[in-house]
Structure 1
Amino acid sequence: MKYLQTQNSAFVILLTYISTRVFGQKPAPLCTFTNHKTSQSEMNKRLQPLLGRVFETREKESLYTYNIGICVNVDPQKKFGENVGVVQIADKAPRHWVIGYYNNSQLIEGTDWLILEYLDGQKYGSHCGQEPRKARIMIKCDRNVKSGEETVKIIRQETDKTQDCYYLFEISSPDICFKGPYYNVLSGSQSMHIPQCLMFVIPVFVYFLHIIP
């Protein structure tokens, strides 16, 4: 009887441990797209390969470092606050500016690119009409980059405007490349799919069959 009680106790401990491991897991990071009618899960779907990643970059000869999170807080300790998508950190003075929050996001989708936008950052002090800062993260298709080894770079800080200022970042990734049933024969604006090529080639071939004796 004592042996059975020991077994039962061990089972309860194991079950408690498993329950804690399963139900105590944090949910996957997600952006909140407040201005979109499409479901949140669908909006996050194309970002799935990069969700939860945190990148760091700095401009050449800059005094600032930028931390960029893809639908996740840029710092696990949340020392910059909750839902911080992009933060700018000064090298010398202990100061930082929140550029945008991922719980107020927008997404622009192209065939082989995405623009993830974080809104409602800290307001500018004396320029850009003192509007809130925002970050635009362009994620473009690049099959020469290995999945999981993506890096980010800052393209520009657009502040020479009276409004709609932004920080533009760029990430190249193979994971957002178009994965359709056909592949491109040519690149750039001249690209055509295989079925489209056949539409032109077959009539020409038939024509020559009729005129050649």
Structure 2
Amino acid sequence: MVKHLLIFLFAAFLVLVSTAEQKDCTFPRYKSNDKRKKGEDQIELLKGRRYQFEDKYYKYHVGICTDAMDPYPEDKKDVWTDAAVIQINKTNSEDAHVIGKITEADIIAGPDWVMLEYNNGEKYGTHCEGQDGNNENRRAKIMFICDHTVDDGEPYIIEEQNGKTESCYYLFGFDTQVVCKTTTPKVTVKSGLSVGSVLLIVFVCVAGVYLLAGLLYNRFVVHAKGIEQIPNLSFWRDFGNLQADGCDLVCRSGRSREPRTYKGIGDDQLGEDEPITSDEHLLPM
């Protein structure tokens, strides 16, 4: 019984020690905590999370203010101490590098973005050779970008800038609404058809059924041939004239011209402007 109690106390002690030694980002280049507090506050909900993703050639392990992997492989515990970002070749696991450390962090914050930088990674072997002949240490930059449509998000590789003599880096993107400070609501895109689209589809379907049914009826019941198979052909032939008549009736408001009457020779000498409507004057008295 005493033995089991001692084991339990020892296990509890280990848990407390591991909790007390939980690592976090340290910013040795900042003299004041106020300079980095804004950025840390914006990514507070993401701190302590680990992510794993890959591109065409490499796998990446990224920790947000925590170790990139837990636990580390036995043969890498000493080499990968405090590693925040680790790159592993997909075809050769021995080709692995620490890109940045959580004990060498920088942070910059804007209204809707945060840049977290891990420095002092392993040295480049053949890239980023300075004028002094020494290769630079790797570094990782994680750009947290406000996106109201993404709840938490996860990092992804954008590029590795290793074609310079200094300031080489790995750039990672991280789209998330966690760093959003604006009150812009989520943009929701409504799926489905509009009312106009539905009406157009219904019209096309009805017209198609009307035309097909009319053709079949005229061909097999009425035994029509050629163009006569079109349903209600006489109506469609007069359709343009009907439209013109309707337009003339509705749109033209002027008086129509009175028909001209025939006047014979010498009628102008009668001095009558009104047209002659009867021929009674021609009868003998």
- Work out whether the TM-score is over 0.5: yes
Which residues of 2 match residues 142-181 of structure 1 at below 5 A? 142-147=147-152, 150-178=153-181
The corresponding residue for 2:117 is: 117
User: How far 1:184 moved relative to its partner?
Assistant: 5.8
- Are residue 26 (structure 1) and residue 19 (structure 2) matched? yes
Which residues of 2 match residues 177-196 of structure 1 at below 5 A? 177-178=180-181, 183=183
The corresponding residue for 2:31 is: 37
Code of the aligned partner of 1:113 = W
SS at 1:128's partner residue? coil
The corresponding residue for 2:98 is: 98
SS at 1:144's partner residue? coil
Q: Check whether the contact 1:29–1:51 (CA below 8 A) recurs between aligned residues.
A: no
Per-residue displacement from partner, 1:107-146 (whole Å, max 9, x unpaired)?
A: 0111110000000111111221110000000011111112
2:14 and 2:137 map into 1 onto residues whose CA distance is 40
Structure 2 unaligned blocks of 5 or more: 130-134, 186-285
Q: Check whether the contact 1:30–1:44 (CA below 8 A) recurs between aligned residues.
A: no
Q: Of the candidates 139, 153, 159, which is equivalent to residue 144 of structure 2?
A: 139
User: How far 1:65 moved relative to its partner?
Assistant: 0.8
- Superposition CA RMSD, Å: 2.9
Q: Of the candidates 53, 56, 66, which is equivalent to residue 60 of structure 2?
A: 66
2:107 and 2:184 map into 1 onto residues whose CA distance is 25
User: How far 1:46 moved relative to its partner?
Assistant: 2.6
Code of the aligned partner of 1:138 = M
Q: Across the two proteins, how many residue pairs are aligned to each other?
A: 168
CA distance 1:131–1:143, change in 2 (3 Å): same
User: How far 1:172 moved relative to its partner?
Assistant: 1.1
Code of the aligned partner of 1:131 = E
Greater CA radius of gyration, 1 or 2?
2
SS at 1:44's partner residue? helix
1:30 and 1:24 map into 2 onto residues whose CA distance is 15
2:117 and 2:14 map into 1 onto residues whose CA distance is 34
1:119 and 1:157 map into 2 onto residues whose CA distance is 14
User: How far 1:36 moved relative to its partner?
Assistant: 1.1
2:101 and 2:163 map into 1 onto residues whose CA distance is 22
Report the TM-score, using the length of structure 2 for normalisation. Answer: 0.52
2:108 and 2:40 map into 1 onto residues whose CA distance is 12
CA distance 1:25–1:77, change in 2 (3 Å): closer
Report the TM-score, using the length of structure 1 for normalisation. Answer: 0.69
| Structure with more of its chain in helix, by fraction | 2
User: How far 1:100 moved relative to its partner?
Assistant: 0.6
2:33 and 2:17 map into 1 onto residues whose CA distance is 26
Q: Check whether the contact 2:151–2:178 (CA below 8 A) recurs between aligned residues.
A: no
Code of the aligned partner of 2:120 = D
The corresponding residue for 1:195 is: none
2:67 and 2:108 map into 1 onto residues whose CA distance is 21
1:128 and 1:21 map into 2 onto residues whose CA distance is 43
